[in-house]
């Protein structure tokens, strides 16, 4: 069989990657596309890490990711092999991690903050999509997510944004923006705009990869 067509979707925190992916995946059936996320490859934090240490720990660095495992799983999917991976729950004690079974498909999506920084992964990508948003909009999205879904305080989110998130974005993602095939500015709160963009991309992929007329 032909090698799957691999799409890399990179974007900083609050850029709207999750919503973009949700819209994009709705254009395909489960046997046409599969997704592997960098977020599921964080190294486990030490079990004795205190809440204060966790607050100060910088998760926005490439060495917090088990990139070899990430790379190996991508290669397995490219070789039409199913992978099994435990979900990462962002140290949320109330969340029970699921076992993720990811089956190969003709289109493989790889998403995450450092996928362009990890050069072996970047060089394997057939299509690179960069998603960005203005800083104030991205921060508001980050606040909404971390306060509601991850149980962080407002001060914790602001501390991480200033000291971890923004510096990591500027050092490990922004330098690769110009090598991307498509740059999408996602400042809108109007779903139709992103749906239209994903529809156009998926139509092109159906013709190119899946052979749809």
Fold (topology level) of 5-208 = Rossmann fold (3.40.50)
Instruction: Give the pLDDT confidence score for residue 152 in this predicted structure.
Output: 78
Q: What is the DSSP string of 6-65?
A: EEEEEE-TTS-HHHHHHHHHTTS-TTTEEEEEGGGGBPPPPTT--HHHHHH----SGGGB
Rg of the chain over Cα atoms, rounded to whole angstroms, equals 17
Instruction: Give the pLDDT confidence score for residue 171 in this predicted structure.
Output: 97
Instruction: Give the pLDDT confidence score for residue 71 in this predicted structure.
Output: 97
Give the CB-side neighbour count of residue 116, counting CA atoms within 13 A: 25
pTM: 0.89
Instruction: Give the pLDDT confidence score for residue 97 in this predicted structure.
Output: 82
Instruction: Give the pLDDT confidence score for residue 146 in this predicted structure.
Output: 81
Domain locations in the chain as residue ranges: 5-208
Q: What is the pLDDT along the chain (213 residues), one digit of tens a residue?
A: 689 999 999 999 999 888 889 889 988 998 999 999 999 999 988 777 787 787 788 989 999 999 999 999 999 999 999 999 988 877 666 678 889 999 999 999 999 999 999 999 999 999 999 999 999 999 999 998 888 766 678 998 899 999 999 999 999 999 999 999 999 998 876 677 788 888 888 888 888 888 764
């Amino acid at each position: 069989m032909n090698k799957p067509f691999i799409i890399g979707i990179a974007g900083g925190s609050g850029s709207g990657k999750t919503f973009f992916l949700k819209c994009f995946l709705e254009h395909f059936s489960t046997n046409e596309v599969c997704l592997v996320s960098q977020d599921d490859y964080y190294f486990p934090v030490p079990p004795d890490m205190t809440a204060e240490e966790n607050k100060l720990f910088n998760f926005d660095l490439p060495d917090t990711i088990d990139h070899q495992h990430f790379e190996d799983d991508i290669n397995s999917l490219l070789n039409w092999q199913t992978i099994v991976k435990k979900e990462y729950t962002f140290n949320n004690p109330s969340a029970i991690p699921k076992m993720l079974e990811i089956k190969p498909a003709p289109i493989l999506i790889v998403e995450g903050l450092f996928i362009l920084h990890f050069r072996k992964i970047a060089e394997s990508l057939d299509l690179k999509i960069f998603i960005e948003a203005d800083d104030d909009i991205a921060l508001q999205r980050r606040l909404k997510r971390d306060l509601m879904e991850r149980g962080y305080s407002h001060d914790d989110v602001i501390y991480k944004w200033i000291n971890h998130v923004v510096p990591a974005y500027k050092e490990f993602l922004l330098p690769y923006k110009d090598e991307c095939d498509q740059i999408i500015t996602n400042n809108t709160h109007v779903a139709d705009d992103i749906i239209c963009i994903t529809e156009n991309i998926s139509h092109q992929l159906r013709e190119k990869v899946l052979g749809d007329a």
